[in-house]
């Protein structure tokens, strides 16, 4: 138990309050909603069934090729800045273009009146591992 408190203390000690705001313990303590965990587990089960069907239909090389393509396309991104990475190739490969969720048309941070673009230099430092900071979708 003492090692856990030491790790938590180190995480809080490395948190830059002026740059990232105050550290909140509530996010660490509160777990996910039961329906959220059910949705995630159902999604994983469907992905596994789909993978098994493709394996039986096209052979094992097809799934290996899809995995390699997914790894390559998930790493292809724009540098941090004004335009976020769209990851269009990765979404086309994984079928993400077919899903139209509320994130696609509501609550976009760029549409907010209080949107402040993040520092491009800090984004590159986080991406290269030089600096620590919150993980922002436009950076990684």
Range with the lowest mean pLDDT among 4-13, 22-31, 83-92, 111-120?
4-13
Q: Which pLDDT score, from 0 to 100, does residue 82 have?
A: 66
Cα 7–Cα 38–Cα 104 angle in degrees, nearest 5:
90
What are the Cα distances from residue 108, in Å, to 15, 119, 137? Answer: 26, 18, 12
Range with the lowest mean pLDDT among 20-24, 66-70, 133-137?
133-137
What are the Cα distances from residue 87, in Å, to 17, 41, 54, 80? Answer: 31, 24, 24, 13
Q: Are 126 and 132 in contact (CB under 8 A)?
A: yes
Q: Which pLDDT score, from 0 to 100, does residue 139 have?
A: 41
Residues 17-46 have pLDDT tens digits of 776 666 666 656 667 788 888 988 998 999
Residue 90's CB is within 10 A of a number of other CB atoms, namely 19
Q: What is the pTM of this model?
A: 0.51
- pLDDT > 60? residue 137: no
């Amino acid at each position: 138990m003492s090692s856990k408190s030491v790790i938590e203390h180190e995480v809080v000690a490395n948190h830059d309050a002026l740059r990232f705001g105050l550290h909140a313990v509530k996010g660490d303590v509160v777990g996910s909603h039961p329906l959220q965990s059910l949705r995630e587990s159902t999604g994983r089960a469907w992905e596994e069934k789909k993978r098994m069907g493709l394996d039986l239909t096209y052979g094992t090389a097809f799934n290996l090729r899809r995995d390699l393509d997914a790894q390559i396309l998930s790493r292809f991104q724009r540098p941090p800045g004004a335009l976020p990475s769209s990851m269009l190739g990765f979404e086309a490969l994984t079928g993400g273009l077919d899903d139209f969720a509320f994130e696609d048309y509501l609550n976009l941070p760029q549409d907010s009146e209080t949107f402040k673009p993040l520092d491009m230099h800090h984004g590159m430092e986080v991406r290269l591992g030089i600096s620590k900071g919150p993980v922002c979708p436009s950076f990684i």
